Structure 1
Amino acid sequence: MTPEAQGVLPHAPARRALGVVVPFDMELDAELWRWLPNDVDLLVTRTPFFDDVVTVEFAREVAQTRVVAEGVRSVTAGRAEAVLYACASGSFVHGRAGQEELVRAMTAAGSRDAVTTSGAIVEALGVLGIRHVSIATPYTSALSLLLGSFLNEYGVTMAGHAALGLDQRIWEVPYAQTAELIRQADAPEAEAIVVSCTNLPTYDLIAPLEAQLGKPIVTANQATMWAGLRRLGRLANGERQSLLHVPAHAELPGL
């Protein structure tokens, strides 16, 4: 006779959890979940709304440490074992010093382990041994070039660059347009292509474009989820994505 037949209820399986702080305009929560193992949850919160489009000023607004810290406090009140700040521009707009200040603020707010999207991209490039990249973004040129400056502070040079020049509704960019953007950004000297913005859909493009272009493609949401899951000692889901072949317990590069 089964335990259920005897009136004994089964125990719910143990689950892990990552906290995620996203900007108020984030539309791709569902894409983040695609990298998750079945027994890991996302506890998501948003920064407060303000009326602006995606510019350098917008990135500075969502990068305020007090705003991000408040989000961290809300998710660490639950089961979050690590907290991700899932915003690329908000974590590179103030350069390396700003990214590292965000991590300190997140830790001070209660996160046992803190990761920003831009920090995750640097971490991903480090474990892949990449020092020369092309950059593809949906941003305006002014915001896009700040990503190149940020990566340069970590010893990563920009070999190629392409940007869509958008300042709103980035989540509506179709895969075909993003694929062409990535191809335009590619350069012979680039060892990998970095695709920025957590509001730009990329999941289904990574594997086919890596096969076509013959080099790793590191995207904002992919790197964020990969780095967060590493803190749990877990691998992200995703077939034929170069970054996801890195062992979960591989040594972290110095940031």
Structure 2
Amino acid sequence: MSPTVRIAVVVPHDMVLDHELWRWAPPDTSLLFNRTPYTDRAVTLEMAEEISETAVLEQAVRDLSAADPHAYVYACTSGSFVHGRHGERRLAAAMSRAGGAPAITTSGALLESLSTLGVSRVAVATPYDVALAARFGSFLAEAGVTVVSTGDLGLGHHIWEVPYETTLELVRAADDDAAEAVVVSCTNLATYDIIGRLEAELGKPVISANRATMEAALRMVGRTPPAAEDLLGHAS
């Protein structure tokens, strides 16, 4: 068996779905988690800006560096897209410098997934309010991705409590025939068990934040992400 690889994962203070990221990890991959400092804010533009501060992320990475990870991940969509492409690149570079290993953010991973698929027209489903969802759309547009349709839940708290049935309805409503794929934002929105079902139903890729994050991280450490057809076995 290959030696175990270590992926250091920084998540927002309110992240609850660590277990979902673990479900993407092969047996020879270990995930090491750390959180950004607590902030008493709803999930808004202001909160996203607060948890996107370079110094905050660098400290979280340094705290993880004692374990000598092979790669670092900032598993937060809003915190990595809120300042656009330049801000996303700045965060990834800061993490790599602080930790001495390759690094990626969730927003960067989403763009990587779309590029790998050759997709430039997407539908977007988010749990966010209008302002934060619009900022995500701007981030995608800046990267040359056209958003043809959207759907949002308008939530500011407890996104992890959204049931699968609500997320299924959200993605179906957000989709459009003109979209080549559906992007589902927020690492705190559970999607693992329904991606296969949605892809089979919609006939196109469904790229969730957690899926993109883990696929990119696994590629960085030379591990193979689960194939799309494997997820059909987890459909519910």
TM-score bracket for this pair, using the shorter chain length: over 0.9
Q: 1:119 aligns with which of 108, 121, 125?
A: 108
Structure 1 pair 241/135, CA: closer, same or farther in 2 (3 Å)? Answer: farther
- What TM-score, normalized to structure 1? 0.88
| Aligned-pair CA distance for 1:75 | 1.3
Aligned residues: 231
* Inter-partner Cα distance in structure 1 for 2:14 and 2:227: 25
| Aligned-pair CA distance for 1:220 | 0.2
1:10-159 equivalences under 5 Å are 14-159=3-148
* Inter-partner Cα distance in structure 2 for 1:44 and 1:234: 19
| Aligned-pair CA distance for 1:188 | 1.0
Structure 1 pair 194/13, CA: closer, same or farther in 2 (3 Å)? Answer: closer
SS of 2:67 mapped into structure 1: coil
Q: Which residue in 2 is equivalent to 1:236?
A: 225
1:165 maps to 2:154:
yes
* Inter-partner Cα distance in structure 1 for 2:202 and 2:37: 39
SS of 1:109 mapped into structure 2: helix
| Aligned-pair CA distance for 1:50 | 1.3
Q: Which amino acid aligns with 2:222?
A: G
- What TM-score, normalized to structure 2? 0.95
Contact 2:121/2:145, CA 8 A, preserved across alignment: yes
Deviations 1:8-41 (A, max 9, x none): xxxx973111000001100000000000100100
* Inter-partner Cα distance in structure 1 for 2:135 and 2:83: 9
| Aligned-pair CA distance for 1:135 | 0.3
* Inter-partner Cα distance in structure 2 for 1:157 and 1:118: 15
SS of 1:240 mapped into structure 2: helix
* Inter-partner Cα distance in structure 2 for 1:132 and 1:157: 5
Larger Rg: 1
* Inter-partner Cα distance in structure 2 for 1:241 and 1:194: 19
Structure 1 runs of 4+ aligned residues shifted over 3 Å read none
| Aligned-pair CA distance for 1:98 | 0.6
* Inter-partner Cα distance in structure 1 for 2:122 and 2:103: 25
| Aligned-pair CA distance for 1:160 | 0.5
Question: % of aligned pairs identical?
Answer: 52
SS of 2:229 mapped into structure 1: coil
Q: Which residue in 1 is equivalent to 2:181?
A: 192
Alignment RMSD (CA, Å): 1.4
